[in-house]
Chains A and B, each alone.
Chain A
């Protein structure tokens, strides 16, 4: 054997050299059987895999026997079995030339993603068919395991290493089953032992039925991502396989599939399936039953869930601070602990789609992110995720549609607004062309709010730069009948009867693009915010002009005293102080960038009587930035966190109420909306908390860490739920 090992060591270093007419180009794997190389078949000009058998393979078997086995295996010709092209011999060594299989081991796939029942059944049929083909030719796999079943990118199963496993003698099996060493440390059995049938562990030679057992383990693992038996040592694991029942399958596994898996894992040979072809038939029956039982509309399109692969998702915990960033080319999610020092960013979600509105919805104990996604090609859809972006709904049909008689087609969803916490299934969307939609079943169905759509003013509204859109929706925190909507360029409209009738509320707001300076409607309103503690106080950024109303929008007063410009878009209120507002003025409608190349946030703490620039940490030279209407937001924490995103894809943040700023993220596509939330209690504490009465807050308070914490938990049930936040 020593010379044999030496021979294999010699083969081991032959990358770049040739074995026969195969030039080894790279090492692609190593296992108990030997080392696998990628190689070039220089006669047939194709890439192949060359497995150089390890010396240990020959320890228990004669070389002739192994050669015979390999030759038999090479006779297998099946689409789900990796083809062996040639068995080669060099001095004392063997090598196998095989089909090069590109793909991912099934066990790895199952661990990384939740495979659907449909996929598991489909793979199961192919594996069972491969086994049936081999068994009919008296070839037993003997080492069927997760690593030996590869799924190619086009969804085809390839079973590797048929008939090549070394036979374990009784003494070796006994050594394994008695070992108390850590299972993880023994690499030669860690990937093999969990698939071994009880009779193999009892010392019998692997048979067709031990392959069937291994198929049961594979299916169990594929459907749950876990193994049916566990133990921390080879002894513990062997004992579980020999004596225990498999861990119960989750109830989500359909009974038919569950029955097949359990019958593969029967300890007694007579209770187990006798033939692999029986398993294939049983799985095929499940497949056809699934197709018949699925609603016609669902079947051809597959799941409604869109899984976004290739993104490292956020692992969100209770009380984390979330930032939801919408850009013209996709959404990004970021999270931090409540200290807001370090942020993790994930995305882009929906890459290539413009995400103009995002909202976190914790009403009714849910943890849902809503997103409007607009593709310039394929239309605009409302989607949601209940797992912080790992999966999203992918609607079969557009959720929001104008009625056919309107002659209109949806262009964009500009705003998602959540209803009150006591009506957790109520939602609103503001859209382009300007209209308001409402849902009373958590977004399952939507209807046009006719009171506003049929308003006699609507035909005279004019589109602004961003189109004719309804972009701002403000629900009143205590009066469920009252709501404000901002339309560009239609102006401010208010309903006091839950949306049945609407009145223009623009008195005092100037226009610059019509001969009449103060018309009843037609103003190009850019943004309105409301403070929940003083719901009749509204602040408004107009297309030129900055205004405040203290009477629910009946009248507006100019408050642009001492600002470098009263043109702008973004505006955010301070949840701790109804007199405090943050804005980022733009130079003019012709030059919609920060004046003088200085990026300055302006704050008023006296409801607009005076303004102060906040610049520490913000670039004050050459910074011609634009912050769009939903590009700035405040969190509910104390000290206040403020976040704004720019058209140049930078996100700036302050966690000390604007005293200092930091660039948190750069290099994103154009940022069009920013939302934030503190994550309410999850799993284990998902009961919705009763809304606590809010303390009136006059001015910013200094709070101790303890009271800060309590104020966070209080906001979980009030502000952060969305509807009662002022504007994002």
Chain B
């Protein structure tokens, strides 16, 4: 059995959620997984209050929250199964039609 070496991904946290990351706008997490879902789980493990703000209880990204992997919108690509590369930047951003 091969074990993937852990990779580091960098999350951009939007202003309204920074109270849940002790004020940090950028959070690095390590994950041994390979998808956006794995990276999010690593983020939630460190900052549990983020989970329900980003995902519904159905485990889907909220309708008016956009998650970008690099500069690609996850919703339009592989969704939570979007593959990640080491060092990738993931941005959590409010959608323009949500306010």
Interface residues of B in 18-69 (CB under 8 A from A): 19-23, 46-49, 51-54, 56-60, 62, 64-65
**How distant is A300 from chain B, measured CB to nearest CB, in Å?**
5
Known: A300-B46, A397-B48, A398-B52. A378 touches B60 (CB 8 A): no
Q: How far is the CA of A145 from the CA of B17 in the complex (A)?
A: 35
**How distant is B10 from chain A, measured CB to nearest CB, in Å?**
17
Q: How far is the CA of A410 from the CA of B21 in the complex (A)?
A: 24
Q: Is the CB of B52 within 8 A of A379?
A: yes
Q: Which of A155, A301, A377, A409 contacts B57 (CB 8 A)?
A: A409
Q: Is the CB of A398 within 8 A of B57?
A: yes
Q: Is the CB of B99 within 8 A of A352?
A: yes
**How distant is A227 from chain B, measured CB to nearest CB, in Å?**
30
Known: A378-B65, A394-B19, A408-B58. A300 touches B52 (CB 8 A): no
Q: Is the CB of B46 within 8 A of A377?
A: no
In the complex, A459 has a CB within 8 A of chain B: no
Contacts of A379 in B (CB 8 A): 52-53, 56, 62
Contacts of A451 in B (CB 8 A): none
Q: Is the CB of A377 within 8 A of B58?
A: no
Q: Is the CB of A396 within 8 A of B49?
A: yes
**How distant is B71 from chain A, measured CB to nearest CB, in Å?**
20
Q: Is the CB of A377 within 8 A of B56?
A: no
Q: How far is the CA of A408 from the CA of B54 in the complex (A)?
A: 16
Contacts of A404 in B (CB 8 A): 57-59
In the complex, B83 has a CB within 8 A of chain A: no
In the complex, A79 has a CB within 8 A of chain B: no
Q: Is the CB of A377 within 8 A of B52?
A: no
In the complex, B95 has a CB within 8 A of chain A: yes
In the complex, A297 has a CB within 8 A of chain B: yes
Interface residues on B, range: 20 to 34
In the complex, A652 has a CB within 8 A of chain B: no
**How distant is B98 from chain A, measured CB to nearest CB, in Å?**
5
**How distant is A405 from chain B, measured CB to nearest CB, in Å?**
11
Q: Is the CB of A377 within 8 A of B49?
A: no
Interface residues of A in 292-309 (CB under 8 A from B): 297, 300-302, 306
Interface residues of A in 380-407 (CB under 8 A from B): 394-398, 401-402, 404, 407
Give the nearest-CB partner of B66 in chain A. Answer: A377
Contacts of A397 in B (CB 8 A): 48-49, 51-52
Give the nearest-CB partner of A154 in chain B. Answer: B23
Q: Which of A155, A297, A352, A377 contacts B48 (CB 8 A)?
A: A297
Give the nearest-CB partner of A410 in chain B. Answer: B57
Contacts of A297 in B (CB 8 A): 48
Interface residues of A in 406-455 (CB under 8 A from B): 407-410
In the complex, B79 has a CB within 8 A of chain A: no
Q: Which of A375, A394, A409 contacts B60 (CB 8 A)?
A: A409
In the complex, A376 has a CB within 8 A of chain B: yes
**How distant is A664 from chain B, measured CB to nearest CB, in Å?**
28
Contacts of A302 in B (CB 8 A): 19-20, 22
Contacts of A378 in B (CB 8 A): 16-17, 53-54, 62, 65
The secondary structure that dominates the A interface is: loop
Give the nearest-CB partner of B50 in chain A. Answer: A301
Q: How far is the CA of A297 from the CA of B48 in the complex (A)?
A: 7
**How distant is A426 from chain B, measured CB to nearest CB, in Å?**
23
Give the nearest-CB partner of A404 in chain B. Answer: B57
Known: A300-B21, A300-B22, A378-B16. A407 touches B51 (CB 8 A): no
Q: Is the CB of B57 within 8 A of A402?
A: yes
Contacts of A410 in B (CB 8 A): 56-57
Q: How far is the CA of A154 from the CA of B62 in the complex (A)?
A: 31
Contacts of B99 in A (CB 8 A): 352, 376-377
Q: How far is the CA of A397 from the CA of B55 in the complex (A)?
A: 11
Q: Mark B80-99, 1 if CB is under 8 A from A, else 0.
A: 00000000000000110011
Give the nearest-CB partner of A381 in chain B. Answer: B52
Contacts of B52 in A (CB 8 A): 379, 397-398
Q: How far is the CA of A306 from the CA of B58 in the complex (A)?
A: 26
Contacts of A401 in B (CB 8 A): 57
**How distant is A576 from chain B, measured CB to nearest CB, in Å?**
43
Q: Is the CB of B95 within 8 A of A377?
A: yes
Q: How far is the CA of A352 from the CA of B94 in the complex (A)?
A: 13
Q: How far is the CA of A147 from the CA of B20 in the complex (A)?
A: 31
Interface residues of A in 200-237 (CB under 8 A from B): none
Give the nearest-CB partner of B56 in chain A. Answer: A409
**How distant is A308 from chain B, measured CB to nearest CB, in Å?**
12
Q: Is the CB of B65 within 8 A of A301?
A: no
Contacts of B48 in A (CB 8 A): 297, 300-301, 396-397
**How distant is A132 from chain B, measured CB to nearest CB, in Å?**
26
Contacts of A376 in B (CB 8 A): 64, 98-99
Q: Is the CB of B47 within 8 A of A377?
A: no
**How distant is A143 from chain B, measured CB to nearest CB, in Å?**
32
**How distant is A401 from chain B, measured CB to nearest CB, in Å?**
4
Q: Which of A306, A352, A377, A395 contacts B65 (CB 8 A)?
A: A377
**How distant is B68 from chain A, measured CB to nearest CB, in Å?**
15
Contacts of A301 in B (CB 8 A): 19-22, 47-49
Give the nearest-CB partner of B54 in chain A. Answer: A378
**How distant is A4 from chain B, measured CB to nearest CB, in Å?**
47
Q: How far is the CA of A266 from the CA of B60 in the complex (A)?
A: 59
**How distant is B15 from chain A, measured CB to nearest CB, in Å?**
11
Contacts of A394 in B (CB 8 A): 19, 49
Contacts of A375 in B (CB 8 A): 16
Contacts of B54 in A (CB 8 A): 378
Known: A407-B58, A409-B58. A377 touches B51 (CB 8 A): no
Contacts of B16 in A (CB 8 A): 375, 377-378
Q: How far is the CA of A404 from the CA of B60 in the complex (A)?
A: 12
For A297, A379, A404, the residue with the greatest tally of chain B CB atoms inside 10 Å of its CB is A379
Q: How far is the CA of A401 from the CA of B52 in the complex (A)?
A: 10
Q: Which of B59, B60, B98 contacts A377 (CB 8 A)?
A: B98
Q: How far is the CA of A352 from the CA of B62 in the complex (A)?
A: 17
Q: A302-B19, A407-B58 are in contact. List 6 more A-B contacts (CB 8 A).
A: A301-B20, A302-B22, A377-B64, A394-B49, A395-B49, A397-B52
A-B residue pairs in contact (CB < 8 Å), sample of 13 = A300-B22, A300-B47, A301-B20, A301-B21, A301-B48, A352-B99, A376-B64, A376-B99, A377-B62, A379-B62, A402-B57, A410-B56, A410-B57
Give the 10 A-B CB pairs with smallest separation, nearest first.
A409-B56, A378-B53, A398-B52, A401-B57, A301-B49, A377-B98, A376-B98, A396-B49, A409-B58, A377-B64
